[in-house]
Chain A
């Protein structure tokens, strides 16, 4: 097994479960925070002693809402990460934060613990859009969070935005992009809203209480996004990711490049490479079960060489830089090339702009 150099830590707690959210996240379980952090510490110690780890290049606290953890609990975790693992110089340590819980005290704790990149879940500025998404933050809170983060010394900020929300107009999206640009982040993720089965919004849509936005309209939103961010000096390096040069998310890139990532915490996924194949496994999803579990793992899957290679292509072609071609996929890649979805440069195959927008078609071809 190749050694892990990327670590993901899942924090499942939220103030409120938003209507669009299909992540492994829970509201009203704050009482479990302390035992959950205990369990995480156990898992980290177990992982460090059971799997090969190199110097960590990235650590990522995702959720849920990692910023809901009290300064004491997050400090404990950050310390534990550094005692169990060694981090390479300049390692990227990211934390997802909700503007509502981004306060001076926590910012201070994150800085002290070594967090050097914040991903702020802004999602939007327009009140109606935020209401449809059931976000309990507003533009003013987002602006304040950015100001405080800058004051606390964070030099690498990312903002999350969501587009193609029912009732959202292109004009309002344009204004949202402008307000985000005005906050001068280093990185922006703009996600097209997907109505995932099991979410509140999906049910509303099924009942006919919510209009869907068709893919052509979604594309218009994406176009606005691309032109606004490009002219503001950002470059699109992945389907939903834009950054200033040098500020691409190194952790996220590890997923698209199929590098081994260890995922700790409830529901977290780990990906390991074994020879020409790979193995993926995931932890038990519910916080309570995770806390009382000995082995943490719920299930996993083995990926044979062909499937592992197909995944590398499918994920690698989400990034503008592309991926090394894989032997045995010549016919598929040629078909995609003649369809104008990819181009090949030496041994690298990379998506065209159309190929990025039609990544599912790319994936269907190689899977």
Chain B
């Protein structure tokens, strides 16, 4: 629908707590506007990856154009932009919010507002978005829509009467949502006459067409067959096609100011069309980019190794393919004495890491051993050189180190006030520095801490959730590096150091972590023919020790004529299991042992 005047365009997203019905509502909007017929409707159209469907979370953003004939008779062009709901992807969220003018705020009629909803809502308000509040699931027996509407009114400052009552599941109140969007959400501003500026808020890789770049045109017009420049990466491309998703891609002559859509330009890799970058014309384009661009940098690193060493090549190919569609994923070859050949990979956060791992295992049928995630430390040597260290086993000699610095984040936690004590205790345990406490509406508290990122990636989120009965939500942003008393904790099995089990920890916590780690390993390492001492050591000094006693009796009581085949097969199966173990010296280590470091609390 090129040429739609801006006053008939609305760009919006849906924000909701997990399970409050965001995807179901999106499906209904598509259905009602005829974008997808009921028959071809696959449940939860917007979440295309299997993983997303299973976990009920949105990983990849999508944008759909809906053509809606309003009750007034006017036809509107609506762009629904989906947003991921996890702190790992907060930068992507901020960019997709920047592509919208409004947000439909969905709250479950039985659950009420949850902490996550608040965090999302504040982010949207901060981005200048107009809210359209909705109470969903009013069909539930436990629904209390009036109460929840009052709650929404209290936190948003909007009148309770403006809150819409909806059941996405039963298709109740869907049209009212669309009417509210066109009534409340302001049309896009921006000038068609100004030089082209379009915000890249997502992209995906298509094996036939190359990268589909998702853009929100802010000023000017983006047309096929023109040469465009990406202002931050300073690259130039020839646009093949522009269009919109309906949800299938439909080509158009151009996209003009206010519109949301895609373009393709024979771009081979999503990393060449970075989220947040600004698209302009190669000749006579805008000189200043749109605000907010940030080069995405990994926050978390881990080693990925194929459990079968023959699969190294397949792992490399798989990572290559994933990277085509995941600009945030970085990797380089790594060799471990314990785990063989693999890759050191960088991720946005723990969820991103888990997703990559699962995709490798599921889509590429790889079996992986993953080492414990770590952050990137900065090691300042006596020589003055600064060495980044994303792999504990590669920390330089202690004698050559002047100091080690670790990444710090500003952490915000929003939590019902009854859990404030528990949250403060948790943050203190994790070396957090208290900064700020602010009471919010609805008996909620905003807590701010400065904390080492390394503490957050070791099981912090689970601890946060379990100590707040699931009510706390968190967000963080990197604020820089700070020196700390950090040491490398090594694990020795039968006297041999296991590189893949080394970690960098705070000196004061090292003995405790060492003890927990060797206890866990003792439980995970099966008994062997020899006694296996497990030691945790800092430098040459052992801080914790456990022993796996040797096997004493491991023999089949009976082995006569009829038993032999069956028992041989049993042993052959056991041998297969043994083959999957990793060997360090004489010790056989099951693959789970390398993940033991993940949950030491």
Contact = CB atoms under 8 A, between A and B. Distances in A.
A216 interface: yes
A157 interface: no
A269 B562 contact: yes
By Cβ-Cβ distance, the 10 closest A-B pairs, closest first, are: A219-B553, A359-B555, A219-B552, A191-B557, A269-B561, A360-B554, A192-B557, A269-B562, A215-B553, A339-B529
B320 interface: no
A193 B549 CA distance: 23
B361 interface: no
B551 interface: yes
Q: In the complex, which of the residues B556, B560, B564, B578 has the most CB atoms of chain A within 10 Å of its own CB atom? A: B560
A311 interface: yes
B571 A282 contact: no
A24 interface: yes
A358 B555 contact: yes
B560 A358 contact: no
Nearest to B553: A219
Contacts of A282: 562, 565
Contacts of B559: 239, 255-256, 315, 318
Interface in B531-558: 549, 551-558
A222 B553 CA distance: 9
A190 B564 CA distance: 19
B572 interface: yes
Interface in A19-51: 23-24
26 contacts: A23-B562, A192-B557, A216-B549, A218-B553, A239-B559, A255-B561, A256-B559, A261-B561, A268-B561, A268-B562, A269-B565, A271-B564, A280-B564, A282-B565, A315-B559, A318-B559, A356-B555, A357-B555, A358-B553, A358-B555, A360-B554, A360-B556, A361-B529, A363-B568, A364-B578, A367-B568
A99 interface: no
A218 B562 CA distance: 24
Contacts of B553: 192, 215-216, 218-219, 222, 357-358
A263 interface: yes
Contacts of B574: 360, 364
Interface string B497-529: 000000000000000000000000000000001
A8 interface: yes
A341 B549 CA distance: 16
A364 B552 contact: no
A23 B561 CA distance: 12
A194 interface: yes
Interface in A231-272: 239-240, 252, 255-256, 261, 263, 267-271
Given A271-B564, A358-B554, 4 more contacts: A24-B562, A219-B553, A239-B557, A269-B565
Contacts of A263: 561-562
Q: In the complex, which of the residues B553, B564, B572, B578 has the most CB atoms of chain A within 10 Å of its own CB atom? A: B553
B115 to A, nearest CB: 40
Interface of B: 529-530, 549, 551-562, 564-565, 568, 571-572, 574-575, 578
B560 A215 contact: no
A314 B560 CA distance: 12
Nearest to A190: B557
B555 A252 contact: no
Given A267-B562, A314-B568, A364 B575 contact: yes
Contacts, number: 96
B564 A315 contact: yes
Given A318-B559, A364-B574, A367-B572, A255 B554 contact: no
A301 interface: yes
A352 B551 CA distance: 15
A359 B556 contact: yes
Given A191-B557, A240-B557, A339-B529, A357 B575 contact: no
A256 B564 CA distance: 10
Contact of A255 (B530, B549, B560): B560
A261 B565 CA distance: 14
Nearest to A254: B561
Contacts of A191: 557-558
A367 B571 contact: yes
Contacts of B571: 314, 360, 363-364, 367
B580 to A, nearest CB: 13
Contacts of A314: 568, 571
Contacts of A215: 551-554
Contacts of B565: 269, 280, 282, 301
A240 B554 contact: no
Contacts of B562: 23-24, 263, 267-269, 282
Contacts of B560: 62, 252, 255
A268 B562 CA distance: 6
A263 B568 CA distance: 19
B149 to A, nearest CB: 50
A363 B562 CA distance: 17
Contacts of B551: 215, 358, 361
A330 B31 CA distance: 71
Interface string A117-140: 000000000000000000000000
A252 B555 CA distance: 17
B564 A311 contact: yes
A267 B561 CA distance: 10
A252 B511 CA distance: 56
A219 B549 CA distance: 14
A239 B530 contact: no
Interface string A193-236: 11000000000000000000001101100100000000000000
A357 B552 contact: yes
A271 B561 contact: yes
Given A268-B561, A318-B559, A361 B554 contact: yes
Contacts of A24: 562
A261 B562 CA distance: 11
Contacts of A256: 559
Given A267-B562, A269-B565, A367-B571, A339 B530 contact: yes
A45 to B, nearest CB: 21
Contacts of B556: 194, 239, 359-360
B572 to A, nearest CB: 6
Interface string A64-80: 00000000000000000
Nearest to B586: A339
B557 A194 contact: yes
A269 B572 contact: no
A255 B558 contact: no
Nearest to A340: B529
A240 B555 CA distance: 10
Interface in A303-359: 311, 314-315, 318, 339-341, 356-359
Contacts of B578: 364
Interface in A270-286: 270-271, 280, 282
Contacts of A62: 560
B28 to A, nearest CB: 47
A216 B549 CA distance: 10
Contacts of B564: 255, 269, 271, 280, 311, 315
A367 B557 contact: no
A10 to B, nearest CB: 8
Nearest to B552: A219
A269 B567 CA distance: 13
A311 B559 CA distance: 11
